[in-house]
Structure 1
Amino acid sequence: MTAPDHYSYGPYHDGPDPLAPPLDLRDALDQIGREVMEGGSPRRALEELLRRGMRDMRGLDELTRQVWQRRSDITRRNRLDGTLQEVRRLLDEALNAERRALFPDPSDDARFAEARLDALPPSTAAAVGELSEYDWRSETGRENYRKIRDMLGQELLESRFQGMKQALQGTTPQDVERIKRMMSDLNDLLAAHARGEDTEQQFAEFMAEHGEFFPENPRNTDELIDALAARSAAAQRMLNSMSEQQRAELSELIGQAFGDPEVAAQVAALDANLRSLRPGEDWESAQRFRGQDPLGMGEGAQAMQDLAELDALAEQLGQSYPGARLEDIDLDALTRQLGDEARVDAQRLAELERELRRQGLFERAPDGSLRLTPKALRRLGETALRSVIGQLRSRRGERDTALAGAAGEPTGASRPWRFGDTEPWDVSRTVRNAVLRSASTGSRTVRMDVSDVEIVETEQRSRAVVALCVDTSWSMVQEGRWVPMKRTALALHQLISTRFRSDALEVITFGRHAGTVDVSELTALEGVWEQGTNLHHALLLAGRHLRRHPDAVPVVLVVTDGEPTAHLESDGEAYFSWPPQPRTLAVTMTQVDALAKLGASITVFMLGDEPRLAAFVDLVARRSGGRVISPDLDGLGAAVVSDYLHGRRGR
């Protein structure tokens, strides 16, 4: 009988987490796109995204906040005199027990011992030193004094060698001799390295004999020095952070470590060697601890290392130094300080940045700057159009349409059927799909499934020429209309380039002057403090565009929040005046009439409710046979797209 299968479960270490949710690049690109449309550079937009994070991952700012919170917790909760307090407690217990043991004894020796105890100096370190040769009668006193010496040795070594305190529980004289031998060999190794000698063989022999003291498993002398110097510098910073009295008392107590002054001497030699080998370590700074939880020497050194590690993490997460990359973040340190979730967030942020670049959503411009690629702009357009279609559906009960045009003629292509489609089936493709699907399953009978159905794609018989004139004066930025205007242009561009490919769209911006821009230029366009709303120039350019396509249905759409305050003079210079001059209004209306003669009715999307603006756009609508729409900012895109679809059929 075979044994049942056994399974073991554990952390996954081989590559990315296979169960992690996929990165939402579309949401990331939407956030970047919004930042770019508000006037930020693509590089800054990417940096802002990484700083803010997304719905399912914390950003660099939040991780940095937690780093500073952790740092604050360490200094607010703790104090550094834990070793001194513990030595004082053990000493007081020892003295009380010794006095109780001496009291019943009537001998002169007992009285002399009591007098000696009474004459002990008030300083803890001095009292411990005075008692080094004392013959204890009390077992508690003798044991506590031994504990003091062992604890001082353990704390001293723990402050220089992480994990040593736990390894030295129940220290024997043989252990102390082994430690002294290790320290002596270590100082010999460091001295040889400082002289420039080749220490490869010496290091190998040292690790073979004393490797148990170094769980970091250094691979060479330099790695060993790096680990030891960081800990030694942390111990020195701990001493720097104590009061002068505490520092003096602790320094004196250290000589009693394990009751053997040679241990403290070897540690002092080690500190000197490390300081000369790694002068770049922070040996001088100090921290202010304000808490109530006492830390021993080992814990204090660890707290100092934690603070240094947190400072380094804050710099890495800030990404403010030249050449900063998310790969610079020390994930192991981040895990130690903030936990596994913080590591996952940092990894996902780095993965998000890599994926955005890998998928070709950013490219280098000729001037070296970062910019969005056409692929990224298409994705932004898809998002903007999807939002607009959703508004149209909710407003009028319409559904998203996949028609390539508004009616009638086949394009020669087909597409899978979706719920609500009413176009004729492409029978041959539908049957072919059913046959292939059935054969792939090994079935000898052909059964048709909904997934097999393809329908004939149709296109609009007529084409349109569209001029979208958008106001880029400063008031559009000031009143929060800048991004909705850009998203509207993106949505219209996406609709025309994907569904009405035969239509000709030109985007015209107008401030003090007007100009034509492509969708990438409009997306990255920054608001400029410039007075003037030159609709006259914009309509001139719109007329030129319409005349290039005389066989198309003309559609002119104007998005503005102010009446014309500028016009183009015959010499090409813009004339500005506030309030508007009659001549500015007159030449603007002349262009409205010229467009009307081309068969174009102008739809004005009025953003704002100024009476003078309302009177002007009403006049434009009457003179051109167009209309005025006053959408809110959220509904601007839906209003423009809806009017385009209405206008391209011919009014």
Structure 2
Amino acid sequence: MRYRYSMWDGTQEVPALQAEDILDNLTDDLMNFGDLQHALRNLLQRGMRNPMGDRMQGLRDLLQQLRQQRRQQLDRFDLSSIFDDLKRQLEEILDMEQNTLDRRLEEAGGQPQGEQSPQGQQSPQGSAQQQPGQQSPQGQQGQQQPGQQGDQSEGSEGGQQGGQQQGASQQPGEFADMLRNIANKKKQFLSELPEDVPGQVKELQNYEFMDPEAQARFNELLESLKKAMMDTFFKDMYNQIANMSPEDMQRMKDMVRDLNQMLQDKMAGKEPNFDQFMQQYGDLFGDNPPQSLDELIQQMQHQMGQMQSLLDSLPGEMRQQLQDLLGDKLGDSELQQALNELGQNLEYLYPMRDLRNQYPFRGDEEIDLQSAMNLMDQMQSIDELERQLERTQYGGEIDDIDAEKLEDLLGPEARETLDQLKQFLEILEEAGYIRKKGNQWELTPRGTRKIGQRALIEIYNQLKADSFGKHEIRDTGSGGERTDTTKKYEFGDPFLLDIQKTIMNSMYREGPGTPIHLKPDDFEVERTELLTQTSTVIMLDLSWSMALRGSFQAAKKVALALNNLISSQYQRDSLYIIGFSAYARELKAEELPYVRWDESVLGTNMHHALMIAQKLLAKHTQGTRQIIMISDGEPTAHLEKGRSYFAYPPSPITIRETLKEVKRCTQKGITINTFMLDRNYYLKEFVNQVARINKGRVFYTTPDKLGEYILVDYVASKKKKLSGVG
């Protein structure tokens, strides 16, 4: 078979995630902490290795990317440059207007003439009186009156025709004087503008520009401020109210008034009629209107949070300037008052503490007002997504993470990572390893067996080639694996005939030749290992020192592995598990993954554990009965009148009472094999006494070798080779 190799280009097929791989990646945490929810959270946090050996990202990686993006934005922009941009726009507008005024003055011939007719004096004076505050309402919104603009445009030509359009009574010289007077008044007005941007914008709202392009640019600036003001409450609402007729504007004010009434009803405990509200005003909310009052409130809070975060992130003086700048730009005091009331109602109902943040921008890149509002939207989205990821890390539902927002902020790879993490739980559930019980996940019996099986495989994979040779096998019998030796057939033996040796026995008896005559004594059968029935109790130390020294996880894995070995290969055997610390208790096999060390109590009560072990083994009168005790310390507690008494260093009473139970086990034919995970003086002295009394074996080992010792010793004790001739 030939193989072709090529560079990875993203088109190659990646093996799908397997439930066994996912289960393997959470098993260590489950063994260590005994909490499946904790193990699942850790798995989602850190990710795992995929079948190709590559690391799959987890929630922790997504959080780091999100926080890095926030830092990049903070390091990039200078938020105070909002006013630099507005100031630059105003300077350009004013420069255009000043240039036009200078040109008109030059065209009109410089300074006004000294002699003017009374009629000529009234006209410029009247025009001057219209600067800047006594214009028509249209002029107050930054628009020129058509008649005036036409006069000024014609006046810019400086010709006789312009004077004729003012009336037959005006002479060309009189019109030039009037034009010069108007231009000089405007120049004086512009020279007296406040220095701050909000003050300039406020004054220029009542000013008639002589330059049409400057007027258009200023109107655009006002519209951008209006949009920012409307965006404070309603997303994309400005597109609905731009260029509204008076009737449409009145409808907008009615909508805000009715919305305020709904909020007041909600504060009073009433149920607002949201459906009726949307039937009347739904078209104002664009193509994707809110489906409930709560959703509308959430949208408005989000919009208000953007503006408030922008204000909070500005220096104090600039914050006030921006508030002044946006304060009255809607051009309708009634609507402005209704919106102010709306903001107060929203703040009363749902304070925006979590929606407003002060962002410490420290970059040098300039940004305009609308881009700053969009930036606040992005920063708020980062904050909200960060909260979702953090909640999921500490017990929240992964489905609560906004996948679309994650993709918008971090790209499609982050969305793919989230989808893979969601698959972890789905794959485990579909494989039958976990199931939902209420709001919690739990292992199924199949999941528990699989963990035990994987623990067994892990232990056997760690065995060295010579490990098996360290355990003697003395007896052979029926029911086990075949050996390399044979024996004369006896009644009751498995008829595993060795043909070659059987024929040779006949030839030895009769000599070579054919036909061959077989007799019962010629039959030779293969020996098999003798399988004994065994009843075992594992005594598992749950004291805090087991976790402190890193032994607890290994001990749990061994118990799970031995349970899997017995249930799958030695089904006639029995296994019981006892956990002991200050007190002892029987543990069911399905409880093993969830068992934790007892961190709230002190004591290693072997005395109580041995008492329970004898009761459990009393159910079995045939075969081998044994106790496998796994501990890292000597007994420091014993039962007295049903209560646990603790002492360290160990009390002589505790040692005496524990050894009494060892003697009772010995009298009942129960072997105690002790696996010690420490070698301190008290421990060695105690286990030596146990060995002298019980004649059981003592193994001093380490957590990484514990499984090898226990499992190999268990299997070896099941298979004993018979010596001598059959």
1:637 is the counterpart of 2:707:
yes
C-alpha distance after superposition, 1:16-75 (max 9, x if no partner)? xxx997555445545655445445544444445444544465544554555555556555
Secondary structure in structure 1 of the residue aligned to 2:195 = coil
Secondary structure of 1:185's partner? helix
Match of 2:192 in 1: 119
Please tell me the residue identity of whatever aligns with 1:644. Answer: Y
Contact 1:405 / 1:459 at 8 angstroms: preserved in 2? yes
1:497 partner amino acid: S
Within 5 A, what are the aligned runs for 1:608-623?
608-618=678-688, 620-621=690-691
Cα–Cα, structure 1 residues 331 and 405, in superposed 2: closer, same or farther, change >3 Å? farther
1:491 is aligned to 2:491:
no
State the 1:500 CA deviation: 0.8
Distance, in Å, in 2 between the alignment partners of 1:302 and 1:481 is 55
Inter-partner Cα distance in structure 1 for 2:422 and 2:30: 21
Report what 1:503 is aligned to.
573
Q: 1:185 to 1:199 in 2, by over 3 A?
A: farther
Q: Is the 8 A contact 2:576 2:616 kept in 1?
A: yes
Q: Is it true that 1:93 corresponds to 2:162 in the alignment?
A: no
Partner of 2:520: none
For the residue of structure 1 that corresponds to 2:349, the secondary structure is coil
- Corresponding position: 1:336 with 2:336: no
Asked if structure 2 preserves the Cα contact closer than 8 Å seen for 1:81 and 1:296, the reply is no
The structure-2 alpha-carbon separation of the partners of 1:547 and 1:130, relative to structure 1 and needing over 3 Å to count, comes to: closer
Q: Are 1:280 and 2:349 matched, yes or no?
A: yes
Decide whether aligned partners of structure 1 residues 279 and 644 sit closer, same or farther in structure 2, where only a CA change above 3 A counts.
same
- Counterpart position of 1:107: 110
| Secondary structure of the corresponding residue to residue 578 of structure 2 | strand
State the Cα distance separating 1:281 from its structure 2 match. Answer: 4.9
CA positional deviation for 1:88 = 0.9
The residue number in structure 1 matching 2:624 is: 553
Aligned to 2:675: 605
Distance 1:650 1:593 in 2: 27
Contact 1:187 1:273 in 2 (8 A): no
In structure 2, how many angstroms separate the alpha carbons of the residues matched to 1:229 and 1:561?
59
Alignment match, 1:177: 243
Deviations 1:427-451 (A, max 9, x none): xxxxxxxxxxxxxxxxxxxxxxxxx
State the AA in 2 paired with 1:617: V
Question: In the superposition, relative to structure 1, how do residues 192 and 533 fare at CA in structure 2: closer, same or farther (>3 Å)?
Answer: closer
Deviations for 1:432-487, whole angstroms, at most 9, x for unmatched residues? Answer: xxxxxxxxxxxxxxxxxxxxxxxxxx996432222323333343233221221111
Aligned residue in 2 for 1:377:
448
Could you tell which deviates more after superposition, 192-201 or 283-292?
A: 192-201
Mapped to 2, the partners of 1:473 and 1:274 lie a distance apart of 59
In 2, are the aligned partners of 1:255 and 1:264 still within 8 Å (CA)?
no
Equivalent in the alignment of 2:588: 518
402, 407, 416: which one pairs with 2:481?
407
**Cα drift, residue 620 of structure 1:** 4.3
Q: Is 1:387 the counterpart of 2:458 in the alignment?
A: yes
Deviations 1:547-581 (Å, cap 9, x if unpaired)?
A: 54343134442222223445567x66666655456
Query: Are the aligned partners of 2:530 and 2:720 in contact in 1 as well (CA < 8 Å)?
Result: no
| Map of 2:132 onto structure 1 | none
AA of the residue aligned to 2:254: D
Measured against aligned partners, the alpha-carbon deviations of 1:259-293 in whole angstroms (never above 9, x if no partner) come to xx637875664564576578535568754343244
Q: CA deviation at 1:614?
A: 3.3
Q: Does 1:301 align with 2:373?
A: yes
Partner of 1:452: none
Question: Could you tell me whether the CA contact under 8 Å between 2:34 and 2:593 is conserved in 1?
Answer: no
Q: Distance in 2 between matches of 1:162 and 1:354?
A: 37
Residue type at the aligned position of 1:327:
D
| TM-score of the aligned structures, taking structure 2 as reference length | 0.63
Secondary structure in structure 1 of the residue aligned to 2:562: helix
Aligned to 1:234: 306
The answer to whether residue 398 in structure 2 is matched with residue 326 in structure 1 is: yes
Q: How is 1:21-420 mapped onto 2 (pairs within 5 angstroms)?
A: 22=16, 24-30=18-24, 33-55=27-49, 58-64=57-63, 66-67=65-66, 70=69, 77-96=76-95, 102=102, 105=106, 107-108=110-111, 109=180, 114-131=187-204, 144-145=217-218, 147-153=220-226, 155-156=228-229, 162=235, 176-178=242-244, 183-192=249-258, 214-218=286-290, 227=299, 230-232=302-304, 234-236=306-308, 238-239=310-311, 242-243=314-315, 245-254=317-326, 262=331, 266=335, 269-270=338-339, 272-273=341-342, 276=345, 280-282=349-351, 287-291=357-361, 292=363, 293-319=365-391, 325-353=397-425, 359=432, 361-362=434-435, 372-392=443-463, 396=467, 406-407=480-481
Tell me by how many angstroms 1:516 deviates.
Answer: 3.5
SS in 1 for 2:459: helix
SS of 2:535's partner is: strand
Could you tell me which amino acid in structure 2 is paired with residue 381 of structure 1? Answer: G
Give me the TM-score of the superposition, normalised by structure 1. 0.69
- Which SS does the other structure have where 2:707 is aligned? helix
How far apart, in 1, do the equivalents of 2:603 and 2:352 lie? 62
**1 CA distance for matches of 2:436 and 2:208?**
81
- Judged with a 3 Å threshold, the aligned counterparts in structure 2 of structure 1 residues 397 and 70 are, in CA distance, closer, same or farther, namely farther
Secondary structure of 2:463's counterpart equals: helix
Match in the other structure for 2:505: none
1:560 counterpart letter in structure 2:
S
Q: Distance in 1 between matches of 2:718 and 2:703?
A: 23
AA at the equivalent of 1:86: D
CA distance in 2, matches of 1:352, 1:122: 62
CA distance in 1, matches of 2:307, 2:661: 81
SS of the residue 1:407 aligns to? strand
TM-aligned CA distance change 1:313 to 1:128, over 3 Å: closer
Using the TM superposition, name which of 286-295 and 639-648 deviates more: 286-295
Does the CA-based 8 Å contact 2:309-2:359 persist in structure 1?
no
**Contact 1:405/1:500 (<8 A) preserved:** no
Are the equivalent residues in 1 in contact too, given 2:385–2:401 (CA < 8 A)? yes
Aligned pair count reads 566
- Whole-angstrom distance in 2 between the partners of 1:70 and 1:84: 25
What code does the residue aligned with 2:90 have? L
Output one character per residue of 1:204-225: Cα deviation in whole Å (capped at 9) or x when no partner: 68666x67xx253556888667
When Rg is computed on C-alpha atoms for both structures, the one with the higher figure is 2
8 Å CA contact 1:467, 1:508 repeated in 2? yes
Cα distance in structure 2, aligned partners of 1:536 and 1:276: 69
* Preserved CA contact (<8 Å) 1:160 1:235: no
Query: Do the aligned residues in 2 keep the contact of 1:555 with 1:648 (CA within 8 Å)?
Result: no
Q: Is the 8 A contact 2:479 2:530 kept in 1?
A: yes
| 3-state SS, counterpart of residue 679 of structure 2 | coil
Secondary structure (helix, strand or coil) at the match of 1:262 reads: coil
